[in-house]
Amino acid sequence: MNIVIPIKQVPETSNVKMDEETGTMKRDGVESIINPLDLYAIETGIQIKEEYGGTITVITMGPPSADKSLKEAIAMGCDDGILLSGREFAGSDTWATSYALSEAIRAIGEFDLILAGERATDGDTGQVGPGIASWLDLTLSTYTSKVVDIKDKSVIVERMVEDGYEKLQLPLPALLTVVKEISFPRLPTLRGKQRSRKVEIPQWNLSNLKMKEDFLGLNGSPTRVVNIDHPKVTRGGTVIDVRNDASIEKAVSQLIDYLKSKELV
């Protein structure tokens, strides 16, 4: 069972601060981590490998520093990493990104399964996984919540749909995008970390991988960001602080006074 897992390096956003003037995120000192949902894809891949054997290749597109995320995945139990990195990829949208990743996956060689997180916390599109499936003409299961079995050159999965679960059998090779229900990501081990430090991560780009140049980067991206607008706060809002049981009554009377002042009660 050869598994490929495309992952994304995203900014750690639990403590994120926004620059109020530009409306962009303050990236200084913000740590980069593996996209949280991708961890579930990695865990699923490792569990499949433990049961059925095989190798796992993780692949990402990003700056040279993104090799840190690949090494983290290797420390968790993946085998190899490939980094797509170069100026030609800068500004890629989901169309260009999934194209570049699919060409790289093609170049890796034979594979049975591609596992991806359902979406990334930063772009939040959920398009790159299905995009790769489309470029490579693979069967696809999105929102996969369980891998039931792998047999007879097919994978049986459950996927979450609005009113329950759907059970699908997909011929291999297939691409699954996974949701949190599928597994609990393990932590990387010391031995895994040590191994990952020794693994050489090859860097691929136009110089050593055949791709259509005009499909890459900003030029290859049909998406155009015309304008970034952030919603204007039209109502200021009044925050009434209720920090403990004792201040509830005070807060309620403040609220009533406020409503009265607006002639709402």
Partner 1 sequence: MKYNPVTEEILMELTKIVGDKNIMTDEEKIEAYSHDETPAEQYAHLPEVVLTPNSAAEIAQVMKLANRELIPVTPSGARSGLSGGAIPDHGGIVISIENMDEVIEIDYDNLMMVLEPGVITNNVNEMLEESGLFFAGYPMSVETCYLGGNIAENAGGGKAVKYGVTGRYVMGLEIVTPTGEIVQFGGKRVKDVTGYDLKQLIVGSEGTLGIVTKATIKLLPKPTQRVGLLALFEDVETAISTVPKIMTAGRIIPTSIEFMDKLSVKTSCEYLNEHLPYQKAGAMLLIEVDGNKEEVVNADSETIGELCLDNNAIEVYVADNHTTRERIWSVRRNIAEAFKVVSPHQSLEDIVVPTANIPKLMPYLADISEKYGIKVPCYGHAGDGNLHATLVKNPDHSMEKWYELEEEALLDLYKATKELGGTISGEHGIGSKRKKYMDMIMDPVELRLMRGIKKVFDPNNIMNPGKIFEME
Q: Is 149 in the site for partner 1 (CB under 8 A)?
A: no
**Contact of 128 with 97, CB cutoff 8 Å:** yes
Q: Which residues of 93-104 are buried (b: 16+ CB within 10 A; e: fewer)?
A: bbbbbbbbbbbb
Q: Which of residues 26-45 bind partner 1 (CB under 8 A)?
A: 29, 31, 33-34, 36, 39
Tokens read off for 213: 């140049």
Question: How does DSSP assign 226-240, residue by residue?
Answer: ---------------
Q: Is 263 in the site for partner 1 (CB under 8 A)?
A: no
Name the residue nearer to partner 1 (CB basis): 227 or 238.
238
Tokens read off for 92: 């890629």
Q: Is 130 in the site for partner 1 (CB under 8 A)?
A: no
Q: Is 187 in the site for partner 1 (CB under 8 A)?
A: yes
Q: What residues contact 58, with CB distance under 8 A and at least 6 apart?
A: 4, 5, 6, 7, 42, 70, 73, 74, 78, 80, 81, 82
Q: How far is the CB of 65 from partner 1 (least distance, A)?
A: 12
Q: Is 67 in the site for partner 1 (CB under 8 A)?
A: no
Q: Is 21 in the site for partner 1 (CB under 8 A)?
A: no
Tokens read off for 47: 């569990």
Q: From 132-140, 159-167, 207-215, 244-252, give the range in contact with partner 1 by CB under 8 A.
A: 244-252
Q: Is 228 in the site for partner 1 (CB under 8 A)?
A: no
Q: Where does this chain bind partner 1 (CB under 8 A)?
A: 12, 14-15, 17, 29, 31, 33-34, 36, 39, 72, 75, 184, 186-194, 243-246, 249-250
